[in-house]
Structure 1
Amino acid sequence: MDRSHEYSLTERYRELSDDIAAAVAVVSARRGTTAHAITVDSFLDVSYDPPTMAVSIYSGSRMMETLEMSEHFAISVLASEQRDLSERLGATGQPLYGALAGVDHSPAPRSGQPIIGGAVAWFELRTVDILTVATHSLVVGEVVALGASPGSGQSRPLLRWRKAYGTIGPR
């Protein structure tokens, strides 16, 4: 069977999907007493009533294992000056333990999930569904708490576009 069409479709999809500007965030959760975190740019608000969000995570990842074991997780939307943190938590092969060592973070009010300091906005979520789609899982969560870091009104969000980082002006 000739699969060249599938390959070209996949490659073209990758190329064109890079043209979609996306906010960069950190998804975090605790496995026992240890905090786990990864960088994502595939998350979205799903509903305002009740407030619900979803995030796409590679199904075979250690982060997905952690999310399957936890009732709650957090999404911290990064500020433009947090690019180094994004790159660090987005690197392949990061250690299972100590991902947030030396990173300013605090416990979310309801479940204690790690919230990244300096984030433009953060959301604490209770997992309500996990859907498998191709190689990824969509983790759907109801927002149980939310907020922003002090001074976030003057911050600019960190964005990914065409495999590079950027930002837009403040609110």
Structure 2
Amino acid sequence: MQTLEKQMDTRALRNAYGKYATGVTVVTTLDDRGAPAGLTVSSFNSVSLEPALVLWSLRKESYTARAFQAADGFAINVLAHEQQLLSDRFATPTADKFSQVPYAISENQLPLIDGAIAQFECIKRNEFDGGDHWIFIGEVISFTLNEGNPLIFHAGKYATAV
């Protein structure tokens, strides 16, 4: 008897997951050398208000996995609709994603990207094995909220919220 996993068409499953529209974020941290690291993430969710907890997931094979596993915290930058090129930049494996990207290091020593419509600075509370991903849970220690429309991802492409 075959397991369900072997019977499942993973491309079709990914397409089905893609029917759920998500916001687009860039999650950032500082690596062990103090250099900024980050990547585009659509797997961001609020978990709890008290305590203020959020989660996101990272593919285990990601070139940034080591930086996030070693870090004590991370920042989640919710991108504005106008930041599609920034999303594309952080979704591509390149040596220095932060060159020519306006950002600042916060008082909590986390990279915050200019123009984000919301930012959550978090202390890493937990990290779990989630199949081919790591699941990170962070406690929000600071946040900012700005005006603007969100960048949305749906069915494999960017979309507009109406």
Normalised by the size of structure 2, how large is the TM-score? 0.92
Summarize the alignment of residues 11-50 of structure 1 with structure 2, pairs less than 5 Å apart.
Answer: 11-31=11-31, 32-50=33-51
Q: Which residue of 2 aligns with 1:73?
A: 74
Moved over 2 A (4+): 1-12
Looking at structure 1, the residues matched to 105 and 160 of structure 2 have their Cα atoms a distance apart, in angstroms, of 27
What root-mean-square deviation, in Å, do the aligned CA atoms of Structure 1 and Structure 2 show?
1.7
Q: Which residue of 2 aligns with 1:156?
A: 149
Looking at structure 2, the residues matched to 3 and 135 of structure 1 have their Cα atoms a distance apart, in angstroms, of 17
Q: Which residue of 1 aligns with 2:112?
A: 115
Q: Which residue of 1 aligns with 2:97?
A: 99
**Aligned residue identity for 1:18:** G
What percent of counterpart residues are identical? Answer: 27
Looking at structure 2, the residues matched to 51 and 4 of structure 1 have their Cα atoms a distance apart, in angstroms, of 36
How many residues were matched structurally?
161
Normalised by the size of structure 1, how large is the TM-score? 0.87
Looking at structure 2, the residues matched to 79 and 144 of structure 1 have their Cα atoms a distance apart, in angstroms, of 22
**Aligned residue identity for 1:88:** R
- Does residue 168 of the first structure (1) align with residue 161 of the second (2)? yes
Looking at structure 1, the residues matched to 118 and 149 of structure 2 have their Cα atoms a distance apart, in angstroms, of 11
Looking at structure 2, the residues matched to 141 and 9 of structure 1 have their Cα atoms a distance apart, in angstroms, of 32
Q: Alpha-carbon deviation of 1:7?
A: 4.6
Could you tell me which runs of 5 or more consecutive residues in structure 2 were left unpaired when the two chains were aligned: none
Q: Alpha-carbon deviation of 1:9?
A: 4.1
**Aligned residue identity for 2:158:** Y
Q: Which residue of 2 aligns with 1:132?
A: 129
Q: Alpha-carbon deviation of 1:8?
A: 3.5
Could you tell me which runs of 5 or more consecutive residues in structure 1 were left unpaired when the two chains were aligned: none
What's the secondary structure of 2:14's corresponding residue?
helix
Q: Alpha-carbon deviation of 1:12?
A: 2.8
What's the secondary structure of 1:103's corresponding residue?
coil
Looking at structure 1, the residues matched to 156 and 125 of structure 2 have their Cα atoms a distance apart, in angstroms, of 31
Q: Alpha-carbon deviation of 1:108?
A: 2.3
**Aligned residue identity for 2:54:** M
